Structure 1
Amino acid sequence: MNIEAIKSIYVYEMARTRRTLLQSIVSPVLSTALYFVVFGAAVGSRMEAIDGVSYGGFITPGLIMLALVTQCVSNGSAGIYFPKFTGTIYEILSAPVAFTEIVIGYVGAAATKGMIVGLIILATAAVFVDLHILHPVMMLLFMVLTSVTFSLAGFLIGIYAKNFEQLSLVPSLVIPPLTFLGGTFYSIEMLPPFWQAVSHLNPVLYLVSGFRWSFFGTSDVDPTISLVMIGAFMLLLLGVLSWIFKTGYKLRP
């Protein structure tokens, strides 16, 4: 394992975050804080508790997941897209650096950025709503697995994207609807049976539900199933990435 190669890629990507601090950290934190102000404090104070949890607390895990997933996909895709755009990707591919080392460097940096944003939002949420984390270890496990998995997904998007429009398509048009319809603002038990079944086709439901369980001990889906789903998705993405680097698909002319 070429530790120096991993370190070089990781440090370079993290340095890019410092240069774009407002966009990378401040903007998503402020945007999510507005949700806490509007839905947690203003609207939430007028709504009944869900499964014994105040509405402001109930939506907190989903909002953290929304920011976490969006940031991981965006950072993961941008990290590999810009070397493709500038042509420096060929220097990386021709260097004595293995596929696993490239992925660990880029995906590790994207996941770290997402975790930083997620933890800052978690601290911000504590200002607006009353939070109690019943299973802190599981909460961190869900955050780490989600960060790595969606950073891998972003990495794949960055490889596939031909232009900036395709690069921003998934973070802006796909992830928010999936998150909002994945039980962020409600329990799927409130839905008719048919729509409950449809909701189980939404992969984000398992993320939000498992993450909410780590806070309050209540969930729409068994947390074990949530972990299995995240693990299976991660393995699928790793398999696709391995094939891409072996074949050079979208990487070599």
Structure 2
Amino acid sequence: MKQEVTQEVTQEVTQKVTIDPNETMSAAKKWIAFQTILIKEIRRILRIWPQTLLPPVITMALYFVIFGKMIGSRVGDMGGVPYMQFIVPGLIMMAVITNSYSNVVSSFFSAKFTASIEELLVSPVSKHAILMGYIGGGIFRGLIIAIIVSIVALFFTKLGIEHLFVTIFTVLGTSILFSLGGFINAAYARSFDDITIIPSFVLTPLTFLGGVFYSMENLSPFWYNISLLNPIVYMVNAFRYGILGYSDVNVWYSMAAIFVFCVVFYVMSYRLLSDGSRIRL
């Protein structure tokens, strides 16, 4: 089914973008190619919504109940706000990170596993259009999950936005970054087991140690300095600053780090796609 869908997308792109293979694509044709791939990714997310949208929402709701209500009532305030409010931004970022990442890694590796991605690679479609189409799908899923989880959070606590620009930049930049991370993982993966290693042994530990459930002010100097090596700390705190106006680290450094990581990961992803050796099993 996935191979048939990708073949249909390739045919649709080829029909809309009819040029000589040696001819450079115009900006309009690149846009059509990108748009077609993005629409395919969005349709995939919405078609299998019981797998892509429902589970993370249920998981976050359980976090709100267990950590926010049951444990939070005993913890009291943290960072000058009720514990429930304190953990909401971190839990939203956790959902954005995992869903942006998993969407791209599963979608692209499936196309790679069935060899249907090769039809796009040999077509005149721009590599940037292919990459941004898949990344756009990850961004869409990450942002949709962020919105839904935020709505669920309103049933448990008050939620506002203190700094709109910081909030939008952080959630958008984080979804881009981890969509690119998922693409890189899918490019290097040789089996479905390979795409579960990074989420299980890297993302999950870094997220739980990224200040989602605690303030870094409560850490000893040694563990505080160790925590500063965790990139997710900066994303969680930047988003918390946007929502609550509170952060354990410098927000502008955090935003700069997100931007730099996005640029580096995009260059890596583009080179992997252009080289093609890692894309083919």
What is the aligned counterpart of 1:206 among 220, 231, 234?
234
Give the 3-state SS of the residue equivalent to 2:81 in structure 1.
coil
1:139 corresponds to which residue? 167
The number of equivalent residue pairs is 253
Query: Gaps spanning 5+ residues in structure 1: where?
Result: none
Aligned-residue offset at 1:244: 1.5
- Partner letter of residue 261 of structure 2? F
d(CA) in 2 for partners of 1:46, 1:252: 53
2:205 corresponds to which residue? 177
Does the alignment pair 1:16 with 2:41?
A: no
Does the alignment pair 1:28 with 2:81?
A: no
1:126 corresponds to which residue? 154
1:62 corresponds to which residue? 90
- Partner letter of residue 55 of structure 1? Y
2:14 corresponds to which residue? none
User: What's the CA shift string for 1:58-117, capped at 9, x where partnerless?
Assistant: 011111111110001100111211111111111000111111101111100111111101
Contact 2:115 2:280 in 1 (8 A): no
1:52 corresponds to which residue? 80
What is the aligned counterpart of 1:191 among 194, 214, 219?
219
Structure (1/2) with the larger helix percentage:
1
d(CA) in 2 for partners of 1:173, 1:124: 28
Give the 3-state SS of the residue equivalent to 2:197 in structure 1.
helix
Does the alignment pair 1:5 with 2:33?
A: yes
Contact 1:74 1:168 in 2 (8 A): no
d(CA) in 2 for partners of 1:221, 1:244: 33
Aligned-residue offset at 1:15: 1.3
Contact 1:184 1:208 in 2 (8 A): yes
Aligned-residue offset at 1:190: 0.6
User: TM-score normalized by structure 1?
Assistant: 0.96
What are the residue-to-residue correspondences of 1:138-177 with 2, within 5 Å? 138-177=166-205
Aligned-residue offset at 1:252: 4.2
Rg (Cα) greater in structure: 2
Contact 2:41 2:137 in 1 (8 A): yes
d(CA) in 2 for partners of 1:65, 1:74: 14
d(CA) in 1 for partners of 2:131, 2:161: 32
d(CA) in 1 for partners of 2:156, 2:265: 36
d(CA) in 1 for partners of 2:57, 2:169: 21
d(CA) in 1 for partners of 2:195, 2:270: 21
Query: Gaps spanning 5+ residues in structure 2: where?
Result: 1-26
Contact 1:6 1:101 in 2 (8 A): yes
User: What's the CA shift string for 1:148-173, capped at 9, x where partnerless?
Assistant: 11101101111111111111222233
- Partner letter of residue 269 of structure 2? L
- Partner letter of residue 28 of structure 1? P
